[in-house]
Amino acid sequence: MARKKIALVGAGNIGGTLAHLIGLKELGDVVLFDVFGGVAAGKALDIAQSAPVDGFDARLSGGSDYAAIAGADVVIVTAGFPRLPGMSRDDLLTKNAGVIGQVAEGIKTYAPNAFVICITNPLDVMVWVLQQRSGLPANKVVGMAGVLDSARFRHFLAEEFGVSVEDVTAFVLGGHGDTMVPLTRYSTVAGIPVPDLVKMGWTTQERIDAIVKRTANGGGEIVKLLEKGSAFYAPATSAIAMAEAYLKDKKRVLPSAVYLNGEYGQKDLYVGVPVVIGEGGVERIVEVQFTPEEKAAFEKSCGAVRDLIEAFKKLGV
Ligand code: APR
């Protein structure tokens, strides 16, 4: 059987890490696209030369011609600019709006049947623009944020409880920004909800509140440390989990930014909710019941995404 083709639009920090992970996991052949074609080609060659050592077979190529992404099964978009210290994700809107418009055109022309995962920030707005401009069906265009935000929450919870990250599940909803909504009620250690663990004396509510806050600021903490860009290992790993769910029809339940058309009382909006990802792309949107406080927090987060969509419309790009 022919190998799957995965196109990476943007060959920066995340793009390069994605290509390496795709090779290591033997998910398919990789085409890296970047405005700096040399960077894309150089990273492809470098990773290809690691293949004999790691023992994986994949064709890797790179350049700046959109035609190379033709017929891709999956496209992962990281084209654009990352945050620098002092910037919020929203500050990237003006810089990245034009970039995503070009990317949408490229995908529409060359890879209209692909499953598209957007990582470029501000995520919820950029994925909305990507779907609108490319005209691809909404179930085939998703944004990566929830898997990453949940992974950050899981990491902090595992550290707090002194247990394996494997046994911690976490649930984060809403926009990929300060208003994201980590739901402790649905976050567990081996099935025991976090509020029960508080009652059992494993931790205190104050410490959980601090972890929730640290999760919401998880990206900013790394931007501050790196000084020259934003996180890339965990974002790339998270997008690969989504790509793998699609390519292998795993029907994984993953929090993703998806198009809501009435679900959760929201219309014409991309925002993070749990979904089933399989060969049909987004196969099902999981609608959980909220408490009044959770509902208010989710609606506040949706409001922040809507404000940014309005700001985007005013840019006229
Ligand atoms: N088309 C294609 N590639 C582009 C374009 C464009 N119009 N504009 C910029 N790029 C490329 C840059 O040349 C660069 O190689 O996108 C790449 C981005 O890589 P990095 O600057 O290393 O950024 P990275 O850390 O990979 O993050 C990319 O993902 O998480 C988000 O906030 C982050 O928006 C940022 C994106």
Residues 89 and 150 both lie in one domain: no
- Domains in the chain: how many in total? 2
Residues 12 and 140 both lie in one domain: yes
Torsion of CA 37, 43, 45, 47, to 10 degrees: -160
Structure tokens at 128: 């909305």
Residues 215 and 104 both lie in one domain: no
Residues 184 and 252 both lie in one domain: yes
pLDDT value of position 233: 98
Q: pLDDT tens for residues 40-87?
A: 999 999 999 999 999 999 999 999 999 999 999 999 999 999 888 888
Domain residues for 178?
146-315
The response to whether residue 230 sits with its C-beta less than 6 Å from ligand 1 reads yes
Q: Tell me which of 144, 165, 196 is where a domain ends.
A: 144
Structure tokens at 28: 């398919």
Residues 69 and 188 both lie in one domain: no
Residues 283 and 168 both lie in one domain: yes
Cβ-contact 75, 7 below 8 angstroms: yes
Q: pLDDT tens for residues 289-307?
A: 999 999 999 999 999 999 9
Residues 82 and 196 both lie in one domain: no
Task: Tokens 């793009």: give the residue.
Answer: 15
3-class state of residue 253 by DSSP: strand
| ipTM value for the complex | 0.99
Cβ-contact 65, 37 below 8 angstroms: yes
Tell me which of 20, 43, 155, 176 is the catalytic residue. 176
Model pTM? 0.97
Cβ-contact 255, 150 below 8 angstroms: yes
Residues 214 and 299 both lie in one domain: yes
The response to whether residue 155 sits with its C-beta less than 6 Å from ligand 1 reads no
Whether 20 is a known active-site residue: answer no
Cβ-contact 140, 259 below 8 angstroms: no
Residues 126 and 255 both lie in one domain: no
Element (H, E) at 282: strand 281-285
The separation between CA 161 and the C-alpha centre of its own chain, rounded to angstroms, equals 26
For the domain that residue 209 is a member of, what is the CATH number? 3.90.110.10
Q: How far is the CA of 138 from the centre of ligand 1 (A)?
A: 23
3-class state of residue 31 by DSSP: strand
